[in-house]
Chain A
Amino acid sequence: MPGAGEPEERGDFAGIVPEPVLGPFRRSVAWLDDRTGFTGLLHNALYEAVPKQGGWAYTLGSATLVVILVQFFTGIFLLLDYVPSPTEAYQSLLYLRTNDFFGDWIRGIHLWGAYVLMLLIGIHALRTFISASYKAPRELNWISGVMLFFLVLALAITGAMLPWDQASYWTAVVVTNIPHYLPVIGNGIRALWRGGNFVGPVTLTRTFALHVWVLPALLLGLIGAHLYLLRRHGEFGSWVNYETTTDNPEKEIAERIRHAEPPYPARGSQPKYAVPRETVDFFPDQVFKDTVVSLGLVVLIFVMAVLSGAPLDGPANPATLTYVPTPEWFYLPLDQLLVFFPTALIGFGVFVIVGIGATLMLALPFIDRNPERHPIRRPDVLVPAFFLIFTVIYLAMLGVNRLYNL
């Protein structure tokens, strides 16, 4: 509270109290700050408390965001050359590869960025799952994260259909055919996506629209929501951040809550998990770790893009009888799962099994209501989850093996 006679707002005395003399740059910053209040926002963004222990494990979210930004920027560069038409798409990428000096690198970065993004989101989700960070009050953080994962998967598959080479054409044939396994509305959705009964020019333009506009817009909205929720409840960290070290844990927890720095104590949380034992400022401690990991990944993506590039098959040929389409590696588990289903039950495999899996992922915070956070004390979710994770990894391995034995 301001003392007696002290001004509540500096602005109240504008024109009465002389302004300090500033240089032109600082004056510009002050003017901008006066109009927008951005330094306050920046201060809030940088100087929030985050758990001290295990900071390297909490870099995965920031790294994911950085790789998504890389995807946005490389995507914009690709848009400068790419033409979404069956007659031009392949040629435009060929031009990009042969005539644009960095074109092939940019495409390689976009492809390897997508691959790294898949892995990152998977590891980020696994870390969040094992540390039980999805529990109250962070249920919506988890749900928005899962939806982001689904969106990235959708972006990846629509992106794979755009080059209009053999691989992408046959991917389009297979993927746009999937909805027809849905009863009643399946054929309608397929026709809507394809723009008719067959894959053609309309399919490409509609997929292009999905890839560059609809899905990114949803992605940005969800990223915003995810970050807002993260800032509202603070980074949970993991169980190690909440261990008590004294003989009187209740008193220790009460002390922590009393001295908590924003955004802690987390609203709606159990007292034990409301405030981490030790915290540091997001800047510079956590920002440094985030930067190291993100930079490392960007370098990895760049190196892979230069060394391996992005493949481009021959131009799409709907009349071919010999081409065997193979899915991207992140769809191998699903593809391999469908191998085990009789033809009549493929729809069941695609929608019911995958639907159950997606629902379980989304509903996890409401299924696992055990207040414990330590993984050893949560076997009721850990045991089935590791069974599922084993199944997914094993299916992927079988899928790779199958590609060598086609």
Chain B
Amino acid sequence: MQLILTLNPTSIPGTVLTNTVAVGMVALLHVLFATFLIGSCTLVALSELISMVTHDERHERLARSLVHAWGYVFSTGAAIAIFFVVFILVGLWGRFFVTFQQFTFWVWFFEALTFVGEIVLLYVLYANWERMRRYRMARLGMVLLLNIDQWFQMFLIDVIASQMLTPTVQGATVNMGYVLQFLNPTNLPLTIHRTVGNIAWAGALVAFTAAFQYLRVTRRQEARALVPGRREPVRALGAMPEGELVRERNREAAYWDWAGQWGMLFAFGLTIVQIWVGYSYAKEIQLHSLDSWYQMMYGWISNIFLAQFAGLGLIFIFGVAYFWQRLKAAGQYVTARRHQIALILLILLWLFGIQPAWFAGSYPDIVAAHLAKPFWDGGLEDPLGFFFPWKVMVLIADMLIALYAVTSYVRARVRTPMTMGQATRGSQRLLISLAVMVGLMMLIMGIIRESSRSPYLVNQNIVINHQVILQQPAPNIPLSQRPIGP
């Protein structure tokens, strides 16, 4: 506790600060690529399976597009990862990294192996997707293998991340055994949180791309409507007769409308689950790493946490607004009206929920200044902004309304088929906003978690300032003799 008081972020020397910024930026950048790859791999498997069963060409096209995107995304993400390990971790944080790797060696080792598996499977699929169309079961099998490889990869890196936040044995730096590392208190909630989050992020990027394309396609249609008789430049879709060009564009609009909606359902639907999973994650942090939890909920990070809370509300608002717009465009006015009411409720809840409990940067500062009292008594506290019970109630209400909204939307879609390609341009802008918010949430969550350990790099073990190691490594016990139970 003494360390926490003396090594607050403002006293970190410049080099540590710049190194911290560097590690944060590169890691977050890498995360955006890697998480999309993992999540989209599941979406590809799902779309491939559906297209095999139903012969739906839209799913086949979506799967193909995502696999083609993998080539670019993976090469960029992998380059960032290599840069991250070689230059940032080894170069800037060498002492920490080497020490940490000593007792998480096999986790890193298998992480590297899954990387090899990923390269093999992903590039084979990328290069031969079309050629393997005749062997769809084999193709699907390879996608499923890639899923297993990538989810295992994520699980392993979660072991590392959760081990840094809540070491299995507090104060014991090394050799608590790999089974206990896997079973550390926050590994499971983090893994589920990321599993759900990765698919949501992939869905959000699908929705983003689809909305962007829909806007591009329909902008040209609007331009045509504004200038009758104007000939369109034909280079985008090849040299087609004008009638064919219009039909092609209608087909394109229908496809992108559908793809945006498909991706959005994952982004929105799985974010509902994130409230519950995220709460359980925070609870485990509270139970097993109280200092970090305190920083998140009451320390300087609580302001970022509040931003995340606000972002979560915005995702639901954008999502339900999209449902409302889309249903209205499809002529389902009764259900659209219900979504409109849900939207109003969500906005009111959002306004209620984003009230900060205090406005200063640090709770201890407020206490020191005797300002930890309600603002109407001259203090800085806003009791309505407290997490318990107000924000929890807002989260529960958000979750229930969002669940109702998505269920009701899917039901409306099932009972009365919608004609694709009729979405308003406004609804597509909502999709883009939603996708941006999902991406921002991923970044903010990373910042919160990684900053909450401060002043530690590994909680209770390695201090961030000069990477000081608090304990000497214990003797190296053979793996077979390590404890495997609590």
Contacts and interface: CB of A to CB of B under 8 A. Distances in A.
Interface string A368-402: 00000000110110011001001100100110011
Nearest to B407: A383
Contact of B279 (A340, A376, A397, A401): A340
Interface string B270-296: 001100110110011000100000000
Nearest to A383: B407
A405 B280 contact: no
B283 A339 contact: yes
Contact of A398 (B189, B272, B406): B189
A69 to B, nearest CB: 37
Contacts, number: 54
B403 A387 contact: yes
B376 interface: no
B407 A380 contact: yes
B407 A390 contact: no
A25 interface: no
A342 interface: yes
A406 interface: yes
Interface in B429-444: none
Given A339-B283, A340-B279, A384-B407, A397 B272 contact: no
A390 B188 CA distance: 14
Given A379-B407, A384-B403, A384-B407, A340 B280 contact: yes
B313 interface: no
Contact of B188 (A377, A380, A387, A397): A397
B454 interface: no
Contact of A405 (B183, B269, B276): B183
Contacts of B192: 394, 397
Nearest to B279: A340
Given A340-B280, A405-B184, A379 B411 contact: yes
B188 A383 contact: no
A406 B169 CA distance: 11
The A interface is mostly helix, strand or loop, or mixed, namely helix
Contacts of B280: 340, 394, 398
A101 interface: no
Interface residues of B, number: 30
Contacts of A398: 188-189, 280, 284
Q: How large is the interface on A (under 10, 10 to 19, 20 to 34, 35 or more residues)?
A: 20 to 34
A406 B486 contact: yes
A307 B192 CA distance: 32
B215 to A, nearest CB: 28
Contacts of B406: 383
A404 interface: yes
A367 to B, nearest CB: 13
Given A340-B283, A398-B188, A405 B411 contact: no
B411 to A, nearest CB: 5
A390 to B, nearest CB: 7
Given A376-B414, A377-B414, A342 B188 contact: no
B467 interface: no
Interface string A233-276: 00000000000000000000000000000000000000000000
Nearest to A393: B192
Output the residue of A339, A376, A405 with the most chain B CB within 10 A: A405
B319 interface: no
B277 A394 contact: yes
Contacts of A380: 407-408, 411
A141 B120 CA distance: 52
Output the residue of B180, B192, B414 with the most chain A CB within 10 A: B414
B406 to A, nearest CB: 7
Interface in B397-411: 403, 406-408, 410-411
B183 A401 contact: yes
Contacts of B411: 379-380
Contacts of B168: 405
B23 to A, nearest CB: 28
A340 B180 CA distance: 24
Contacts of A397: 188, 192
Nearest to A391: B276
A406 B277 CA distance: 20
B410 A379 contact: yes
Contacts of B180: 404
Contacts of A403: 486
Contact of B185 (A384, A391, A394, A405): A405
B288 A379 contact: no
Output the residue of B188, B272, B403, B406 with the most chain A CB within 10 A: B188
A397 B284 CA distance: 13
Nearest to A401: B188
Contacts of B283: 339-340
Given A391-B276, A397-B188, A398-B188, 11 more contacts: A342-B388, A376-B414, A377-B415, A379-B414, A380-B411, A383-B407, A383-B410, A398-B280, A398-B284, A401-B187, A405-B183
The 8 closest A-B pairs by CB, nearest first: A379-B410, A383-B407, A405-B185, A401-B188, A404-B183, A380-B411, A379-B411, A404-B486
20 contacts: A340-B283, A377-B414, A379-B407, A379-B411, A379-B414, A384-B407, A387-B272, A391-B276, A394-B192, A394-B276, A397-B188, A398-B188, A403-B486, A404-B485, A404-B486, A405-B168, A405-B184, A405-B185, A405-B486, A406-B486
Interface of A: 339-340, 342, 376-377, 379-380, 383-384, 387, 390-391, 394, 397-398, 401-406
Interface of B: 168, 180, 183-185, 187-189, 192, 269, 272-273, 276-277, 279-280, 283-284, 288, 388, 403, 406-408, 410-411, 414-415, 485-486
